[in-house]
Structure formats: C-alpha cells, structure tokens
Amino acid sequence: MPKVTCRYCKNKIDKKDAFIEEYLNDNLEIKNRYFCNEKCYNDKQKEEERKIWLKEVKKLSREKARLLCELDEKEKSIYFSSTYKIITDKFNDEDIYEFLCKYEKDIKEILDSKDFKTSASRIKYFCAMIENQLERYLLEKEQTKRVEEKKVVVETEIDDFDINVSIDKKEKRRDINDILGL
C-alpha cells in the first residue's frame, strides 16, 4: 500500500486511510494534499488563517503608527522605519496594534499638545512613549489575567466544597545541633 505524508503533522499514513484535500495548482491541474484525519486538516487551516491574520495585523499596526506620527502613506521615512523596528523587535505586532487602537486618542492628544520642530523629533517621542507605555500595558494585562485565573480557582473550590485551608507555620531557626544531626 502506498504511503503519503500528512501536511500538518508529517506522519506517514496509508493513502487509502488519508483525508484528502483537492486543490488547483498554477497549471490549473487538480492535485491532492493528504492529512491524517479531518482534525489535522482543520488545524492546518487554522494555522494558515493565523499567518494571514499576523500579516494583516503587522500592516495595520504599522499604518496606525504612521498615522499617529502624521506621516503620509507615500512619504518614506527611514528614521521611522528604524525606530519602529526597535518596538517590533521587543513586542509582537498584535500587542502593538491592540495598544495603539485602545489608546489612539490619548496618544494623538499627547503628541498634538507638544510642539515638535521636525517630524523626526515627533517620531522619536512617539516611539519612546509607545515603548515605555507598552511594557506597562502588557504587565497590567498579565496581572489581570493572573487575578482572573485565581478567581476561577477559588470559585471552583467553593462550588466543589473542597476548601483547603493551609496555615503557614513560621519556621523556627535551626541550631547547629540540628544541622549537624546531633
């Protein structure tokens, strides 16, 4: 029996047992892609959708940052590219986009209240501000996530009536005889 490779998990499977996806190639010929099962196929589709979403978010976050720095679509700025790259190296594009969308009005208000002599100074101020505030935003987001997880654990313990109360006893200091085993 001929074996084929799953496109998602790379396992070898019998061709007759494989889940088949038909597609058109560049020459308009019908070709097959093989998967272990429908779950592998769906996971592969989700992965591809995720990649497309990440590309879109990368583009959207960059456009939003350019808009806040008051750069036109056609205006090229090497300085913006280099300073914005510092932010994208530190943080992922989804977090940047989420932050810029949430605080767009505040950022715009702060930038408009300052009197910048050049566009480079506006860009530098924007990038420094975003870098600092984004770190705080992500820390607060992580802390709220932890608090919510603790609430869920406490609620499940209350619902199950399995409340375990542990009282931490203060450990007394060990003397030299306890350490040496005397």
Residue 158 pLDDT > 60: no
Q: Is the pTM of this model over 0.85?
A: no
What pLDDT, on the 0 to 100 scale, is given for residue 164?
Answer: 57
φ and ψ of 157, to 5 deg? -65, -40
Q: Is 124 helix (H, G, I), strand (E, B) or coil?
A: helix
Residue 170 pLDDT > 70: no
pLDDT digit string, tens, across residues 33-61? 999 988 988 999 999 999 999 999 999 99
Q: What DSSP assignment string belongs to 65-95?
A: HHHHTT--SS---HHHHHHHHHHHHHS-HHH
- The end-to-end CA distance of the chain, in Å, is 73
pLDDT digit string, tens, across residues 87-139? 999 999 999 999 999 999 998 999 888 888 888 898 999 999 998 899 888 88
